[in-house]
């Protein structure tokens, strides 16, 4: 037992969080940091996330398993705040094992919620219905996309189930066949009635089929299912270092993002407390990851979006196609108003600026430094979908970034205009850039000490 006057266990916590609309290259940053930590921990989201990491020339696309799994001999923890599609998780485990990745360190919270068939069906049906219901606003103008453009992985309905409680199933329940059968029968009673109401073409689901598959998944996953809250606190008590890996990103956070065009979880670092049981006071280092430009997948406002050949060039050079859905990503200039907001929301100490090597070739790079709304101007972000759609970005032009960044191996190797771009970001958002990505390889990640 700890001494009653003991102040705090000696371990430490680092968080890595996306500062834009996802796909910032968090997987690569986690991969870089994982060696110096004992466990990586996911706290939010589900199989909607797509973390793409290149190790030894091999590309791995991870959705549910923390990217830290690729570091040998470390724990990879799926926290209680994640919604887990057990069949997708098993597929991912099998896929990694086939490629000889050691997955023995993977642990899943017994309190993570389960994504089942009806969540994915509901996600898709809602999206189709919303698209069909797309209407006009009061002034007769097109009201914009009705649907959110979700990944259709059942994320929203699974989180809604958790909040609704009675029909939700947690990973630990998968080890109790009677509970699984009873809960899924109850859920199907509700879902079949509800989804038939939503769509005449819906075929009612058979609860016993879903339940037996869920029970099989439970058997496969059982050695990995733990109370991860106590596990994490025990690790901290032993002086271990934890690395929290945010999925999706701050501007998709259900509270702080561009609502309603967001995901359904707390993606910002404030999600770590509810999503793992580790309190925010334990965080000692917060690294925000941002691309040198902006991308977004799905619907919703993106003030700096490009619809021209410049955007097309960035999309091609940056290989901006979704890891999870393969959709082409929307591309735009770096939005410093949004970035500064995300730095503020997360209390970011350091920034990892990724994909800087995609910008050379752009004749006149620009960054957004304010928004114009009608006659007024603001440098404050507006986390509201309807209002943000109406803003006009105010830009600052910068010098074209030099070619050849991919060959840089240290910060000092970076040419003048590339450095000026980084300094412009630092000045505007008030945080230091300590990591710069100039290519997909581990050796193309330039790191410097924090000032
Ligand atoms: P959902 O998370 O599938 O419900 O999708 C909600 C919105 O978040 C959609 O616009 C998705 O494209 C977006 N989204 C969710 N996860 C990610 C991610 O990891 N990267 C980029 N966009 C994401």
> Does 23 participate in catalysis according to the annotation?
yes
325 CA to middle of ligand 1, Å?
10
Rounded CA-CA distance 316/21 in Å is 18
**Residue to mutate, 22, 26, 249, 328, ligand 1, most ligand atoms under 8 Å from C-beta:** 22
Q: What are phi and psi of 107, to 5 degrees?
A: -130, 140
- Give me the residues paired with residue 186 across strands: none
162-191 pLDDT tens trace = 999 999 999 999 999 999 999 999 999 999
375-405 pLDDT tens trace = 999 999 999 999 999 999 999 999 999 999 9
Q: Check whether 4 has a pLDDT greater than 70.
A: no
**Cis peptide upstream of residue 260 (ω within 30 degrees of 0):** yes
3-state secondary structure of 223: helix
49 lines ligand 1 (CB under 6 A): yes
Instruction: Select which of 31, 37, 38, 51 is catalytic.
Output: 51
In 3D space, the residue among 213, 233, 241 whose CA is nearest the CA of residue 79 turns out to be 233
- DSSP structural state of residue 11: -
What count of other Cβ atoms lies within 10 Å of the Cβ of residue 188?
23
258-275 pLDDT tens trace = 999 999 999 999 999 999
3-state secondary structure of 275: helix
Radius of gyration over alpha carbons of the chain, in Å?
A: 22
Rounded CA-CA distance 248/268 in Å is 9
249 CA to middle of ligand 1, Å?
9
50 lines ligand 1 (CB under 6 A): yes
**pLDDT at site 141:** 55
Q: Check whether 431 has a pLDDT greater than 90.
A: yes
Backbone dihedral region for residue 232 (phi beyond 0: left; psi -120 to 50: alpha; all else: beta): alpha
Q: Check whether 138 has a pLDDT greater than 60.
A: no
85 lines ligand 1 (CB under 6 A): no
Rounded CA-CA distance 355/446 in Å is 11
335 lines ligand 1 (CB under 6 A): no
> Does 256 participate in catalysis according to the annotation?
no
Q: Check whether 135 has a pLDDT greater than 70.
A: no
11 CA to middle of ligand 1, Å?
32
**pLDDT at site 54:** 78
Q: What percent of the chain has pLDDT over 70?
A: 96
What pTM value is reported for the model? 0.94
Q: Specify whether the CB–CB gap between 401 and 360 falls below 8 A.
A: yes
Q: Model confidence at 440, in pLDDT bands (50, 70, 90)?
A: confident
148 lines ligand 1 (CB under 6 A): yes
Instruction: Select which of 23, 173, 253, 335 is catalytic.
Output: 23
Q: Check whether 139 has a pLDDT greater than 70.
A: no
Span 147-164, average pLDDT: 96
The 3-class secondary structure across 58-125, one letter per residue, is EEEEECCCCHHHHCCCCEEEECCCCEECHHHHHHHHHHHHHCCCCCCCEEEECCCEECCHHHHHHHHH
Transcribe 421-442 into DSSP letters: HHHHHHHHHTSEEEEEE-SSSG
Span 304-315, average pLDDT: 97
Q: Model confidence at 156, in pLDDT bands (50, 70, 90)?
A: very high
Q: Please enumerate in sequence order all residues whose Cβ is within 8 A of that of 161, keeping only pairs 6 or more positions apart, or say none.
A: 113, 119, 167, 168, 187
Q: What is the mean pLDDT of the chain?
A: 93
Ligand 1 atom closest to the CA of 46, numbered from 1: 2
**pLDDT at site 2:** 47
């Amino acid at each position: 037992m700890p001494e009653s006057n003991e102040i705090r266990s000696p371990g430490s916590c680092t968080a890595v969080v996306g500062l834009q609309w996802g796909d910032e290259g968090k997987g690569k940053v986690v991969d870089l940091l994982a060696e110096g930590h004992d466990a990586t921990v996911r706290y939010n989201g589900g199989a909607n996330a797509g973390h793409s990491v290149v190790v030894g020339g091999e590309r791995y696309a991870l959705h549910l398993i923390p990217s830290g799994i690729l570091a040998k001999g470390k724990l990879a923890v799926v926290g209680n705040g994640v919604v887990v599609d057990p069949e997708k998780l098993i597929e991912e485990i099998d896929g990694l094992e086939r490629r000889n990745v050691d997955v023995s360190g993977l642990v899943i919270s017994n309190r993570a919620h389960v994504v089942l068939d009806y969540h994915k069906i509901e996600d898709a049906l809602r999206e189709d219905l919303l698209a069909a219901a797309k209407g006009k606003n009061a002034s007769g103008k097109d009201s914009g996309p009705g649907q959110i453009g979700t990944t259709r992985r059942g994320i929203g309905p699974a989180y809604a189930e958790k909040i609704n409680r009675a029909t939700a199933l947690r990973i630990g329940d998968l080890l109790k066949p009677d509970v699984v059968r009873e809960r899924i029968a109850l859920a199907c009673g509700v879902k079949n009635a509800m989804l038939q109401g939503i769509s005449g073409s819906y075929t009612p689901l058979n609860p016993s089929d879903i339940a037996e598959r869920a029970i099989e998944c439970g058997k496969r996953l059982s050695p990995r299912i733990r109370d991860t809250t106590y596990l994490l606190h025990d690790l901290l008590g032993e002086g271990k270092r934890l690395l929290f890996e945010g999925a999706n990103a701050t501007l998709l956070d259900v509270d702080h993002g561009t609502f309603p065009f967001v995901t359904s979880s707390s993606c910002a670092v404030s999600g770590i407390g509810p999503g793992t049981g580790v309190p925010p006071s334990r965080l000692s280092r917060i690294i925000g990851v941002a691309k040198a430009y902006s991308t977004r997948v799905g619907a919703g406002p993106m003030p700096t979006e490009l619809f021209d050949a410049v955007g097309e060039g960035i999309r091609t050079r940056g290989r901006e196609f979704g890891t999870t859905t393969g959709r082409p990503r929307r591309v735009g200039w770096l939005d410093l108003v949004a970035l500064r907001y995300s730095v503020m929301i997360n209390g970011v100490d350091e920034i990892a600026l990724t994909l800087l090597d995609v910008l050379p070739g752009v004749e006149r790079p620009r960054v957004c430094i304010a928004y114009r709304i009608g006659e007024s101007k603001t440098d404050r972000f507006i986390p509201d979908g309807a209002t943000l759609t109406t803003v006009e970005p105010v830009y600052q032009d910068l010098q074209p970034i030099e070619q050849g960044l991919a060959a840089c191996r240290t910060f000092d190797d970076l040419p003048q205009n590339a450095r000026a771009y980084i300094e412009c970001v630092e000045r505007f958002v008030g945080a230091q850039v300590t990591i710069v990505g100039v290519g997909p390889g581990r050796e193309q990640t330039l790191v410097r000490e924090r000032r």
